[in-house]
Amino acid sequence: MQFHNLGLDGPVRIELDRRSDDRGFFARLFCTEEFRKHDLEHEWVQINNSLTMDKGMVRGLHFQRAPSAEVKLVRCVRGSIYDVAVDLRDGSPTYGEWRAAELTAENRSMLYIPAGFGHGFQALESGSEIIYFNSAAYAPELEGGLRFDDTQVEIDWPLNAVGLSDRDNQLPTLEHLQPIAIP
C-alpha cells in the first residue's frame, strides 16, 4: 500500500499495490502493521455499505463526537465518488479546511479520515457504492454534521448537488458549529 498525506494533519489517500498477471490481480486492502507504521487507526468495529442512486447526490458532511468520535476508511466499489474530509477539530490550525479525493471502482484508492473531521461525498455516477470501515460504533446521540455548501468552507463540489436529505439540508454552518473535541 502507498500512503499519501493530503496536506492536512490526518487525511490520507491510500493506493493499493497490485500484483497482476494474466488471471487478474491481487492487492491488500488493509494490513494492521502497515497502518500502525503510519500511525493510523488499525482497529475497526463497524463496516458500512452505502449505495447512492443518482449522479450529483451529496451525502454529509457527518461526524460523531467523543466518546464515539470515529475514524473512517472509505473505498468505492462501484461507480465513482468525490470524497471530502473537513477539519472540525477544536484548536486545529487547519480548522475549516478540507481535502478531497476521487475514489472510483477502477482506481481502487481509499480515503482515511481521522476523528474530528466531517465526512461527505458526492456521487459522480449513478449507482455509486462505497464500503467504509469505522473505528467506533454508530451513536446517534453523538452524531453531528456540517452543511455541504457552507460558504465559509467553500468545498468545490464537481457537480451541482441534487437529492440532499432533509437532515443534511438542516445541518449548521461552520459559524454555528461547536468544534469537535478530540481526547
**Contact present, 156 and 172 (Cβ < 8 Å):** no
Q: What is the pLDDT of residue 182?
A: 84
Residue 57 domain flag = yes
Domain of 73, CATH number, reads 2.60.120.10
Residue 112 appears among annotated catalytic residues: no
Phi, then psi, of 153 in degrees rounded to 5: -80, -40
Whether 181 is in a domain gets the answer no
H/E run at residue 35 = helix 32-37
Query: Using CA atoms, how far apart are residues 81 and 125, in angstroms rounded to an integer?
Result: 7
* Span 41-66, pLDDT tens digits: 889 999 999 999 999 999 999 999 99
Q: Where are the alpha helices (DSSP H) in 17-158?
A: 32-37
Provide mean pLDDT across the span 13-38.
90
| Residue 62 is among the residues annotated as catalytic for this protein | yes
Rounded to an integer, what distance in angstroms lies between the CA atom of residue 68 and that of residue 136? Answer: 6
Amino acid identity, residue 148? Answer: F
Residue 24 inside a domain? The answer is: yes
Strand, helix or coil for residue 97: coil
Comparing 4-13, 56-65, 135-144, 154-163, which segment has the lowest mean pLDDT?
4-13
Q: Which of 4, 62, 82, 138 is an active site residue?
A: 62
Q: Which domain holds residue 136?
A: 2-176
CB atoms within 10 A of CB 78: 15
Quick check: 135 and 41 in contact, CB under 8 A?
A: yes
Helix (H) / strand (E) containing 167: helix 166-169
C-alpha cell at 127: 449507482
33 lies in some domain? yes
pLDDT digits (tens, 9 = 90+) for 73-85: 999 999 999 999 9
- Three-class SS string for 141-164? HHEEECCCCCCCCCCCCCCCCECC
* Residue 55 placed within a domain: yes
Residue 21 in domain = yes
Number of domains in the chain: 1
Task: Give me the catalytic one of 4, 132, 138, 176.
Answer: 132
pTM: 0.93
